[in-house]
Structure 1
Amino acid sequence: MKALRVNYTTTAAFAPTNQANIAGIVEELKELNHPGIRYSTWLLPNGKTFMHFDQFENDDAHDVLTSLASFKKFDEELWASGLESEPVVELITLIAATETYYD
């Protein structure tokens, strides 16, 4: 299993576009219905800081996400937007959970 947490802050003006781009990723992932990808994004109270929490069965599943057209659009527009704080990517390790994740 590979789990990532990514945090960054957009400008207030770009936050709605970022939300729409993330919704596009979710839509494409739902259509794909890949069993090895769990993807979620959270918006912090300031309305412009995003936290992505993604779990992948393996590196190949992660590669599927980053190869999606919707992800490429999101990534390109995010970097071009003039971020207030750049993404911080952390590999995290599951210790315990109430639900079953990938082995």
Structure 2
Amino acid sequence: MINVIVTYTVKPEFVSENKSNIQQFLNDFKALDQTKFEYKVFVKEDGVTFVHFSNYENEEVQNTVLNIPSFKEFQKLRDESGLNDSHKVEILKSVEVE
């Protein structure tokens, strides 16, 4: 299982557009096999910092999900909005209980 958290902060004037772009790719994700991945998006209390949490069964599933055209367009528009080096990607490892 691949687990990822992505955080970034957008300018206040871009929040509404970013939410709309997120909704578009989340709608498109519904056409995929939801048993193979999970993708959730949150906004922090400041209203401008977004947190994307995702997990994928394997790299093939991850590549399929992340190459959906609406997701790629979301990334392009987000990056062009000016993130001021706030974009951070973290790969999470699960704790195995023995």
Give the TM-score normalised by the residue count of structure 2.
0.90
1:54 equivalenced with 2:80 (yes/no): no
Unaligned runs of 5+ in 1: 97-103
Unaligned runs of 5+ in 2: none
1:15 to partner: Cα distance = 1.0
Aligned residue for 1:77, secondary structure, equals: helix
Runs of at least 4 residues off by over 6 Å = none
Aligned length: 96
1:93 to partner: Cα distance = 1.4
Deviations 1:40-91 (A, max 9, x none): 0100011110001000000111101111011011011011101144310000
- Please list, as runs of the form range in 1=range in 2, the aligned pairs for 1:11-50 lying within 5 A after superposition: 11-50=11-50
Q: Identity of counterpart residues, as a percentage? A: 28
Backbone CA RMSD of aligned residues: 1.3
Give the TM-score normalised by the residue count of structure 1.
0.86
